[in-house]
Amino acid sequence: MALVEYEVKGGYAIITINRPEALNALNSAVLDELNGVIDGIDLNSVRCVIVTGAGEKSFVAGADIGEMSNLTHAEGVAFGEKGNKVFRKLETLPVPVIAAINGFALGGGCELSMACDFRICADTAVFGQPEVGLGITPGFGGTQRLARLIGPGMAKQLIYTGRNIKADEAFRVGLVNQVVPLADLMATVEKLAGTIAGNAPIAVRACKKLINEGLEMDMDEAIMFEAKVFGEECIETNDQREGMSAFLEKRKEKNFTNS
């Protein structure tokens, strides 16, 4: 049985961490399979990706404590680097990635969700970075992405205490975009993915690049970067012509070809 399942549905794909007997905990084998799945995404046809966990209890409950408990210094560095490389590959994927969080998102699971573009969670979801209670730091980007998402003060409080928070508090502090009933989670996220997939792929990918890279620039540099991408990557494309023609002709149907 695959530890990471992959399904394409129309213009979007669903990646499912499939280790429910261990609450979808991340070990080296899961990370290797996830890396392979990401590498295998056909970016010519897939316009949005959803990441979720198997079952109803857990998105990803964390990294595998049993595997980590006997690591040497060198092995610890290697394990952290492996997770970070996979998560960074997901984060920099040209197409948008949505986390559909169906339960526990702790430690490495919270870190995985934060490597996605945004997060939609079930009302049963629980988030946290409990690593300090295990004598370690977050190792897959938690200290960096959490502070960037919710601000350093709140991130420090959650990380230093190791406290878990429920879905409503995660929404209040800005960790998730939306909270829905568990039964509605995948339908909600798939509708969002379908909406994204229905827009011009070149434009959507350019927007992701502009936001991610622009946030690392000062404003003067960032707005010039935006103007350059707007003009050089979007204007004179078939998708730009199609989108504007549809608007001017007042027709809802659009045929975006990613060209």
Tens digit of each residue's pLDDT (9 = 90 or more) over 15-65: 999 999 999 999 999 999 999 999 999 999 999 999 999 999 999 998 888
Report the C-alpha dihedral over residues 19, 25, 27, 29, rounded to 10 degrees. 20
Q: Catalytic residue among 5, 131, 216, 236, which?
A: 131
Residue 37 neighbours by CB under 8 Å, 6+ apart: 4, 6, 15
Q: pLDDT-based confidence at 87, cuts 50/70/90?
A: very high
Q: Catalytic residue among 111, 221, 232, 253, which?
A: 111
Residue range 214-226: mean pLDDT, rounded:
97
**131 catalytic, yes or no?**
yes
Q: pLDDT-based confidence at 155, cuts 50/70/90?
A: very high
pTM of the model: 0.95
Q: pLDDT-based confidence at 66, cuts 50/70/90?
A: confident
The C-alpha atoms of residue 214 and residue 221 are separated, in whole angstroms, by 8
Residue range 229-249: mean pLDDT, rounded:
96
The C-alpha atoms of residue 118 and residue 91 are separated, in whole angstroms, by 10
Residue range 1-23: mean pLDDT, rounded:
95
Nearest residue to 61 via CA among 10, 26, 15, 90: 26
Q: Report domain extents, the chain.
A: 4-197, 201-248
**178-180 and 118-122 beta bridge pairing:** parallel
Would you state the pLDDT for residue 29? 95
At residue 138, does pLDDT exceed 90? yes
Mean pLDDT for all residues in the chain: 96
Would you state the pLDDT for residue 63? 85
Question: Topology of domain 4-197, per CATH?
Answer: 2-enoyl-CoA Hydratase; Chain A, domain 1 (3.90.226)
At residue 1, does pLDDT exceed 80? no
The C-alpha atoms of residue 140 and residue 130 are separated, in whole angstroms, by 13
User: Order of strands across the sheet with 104-106?
Assistant: 58-60, 104-106, 126-128, 165-166
**221 catalytic, yes or no?**
no
Would you state the pLDDT for residue 33? 97
CATH architecture type of domain 201-248 = Orthogonal Bundle (1.10)
Would you state the pLDDT for residue 161? 98
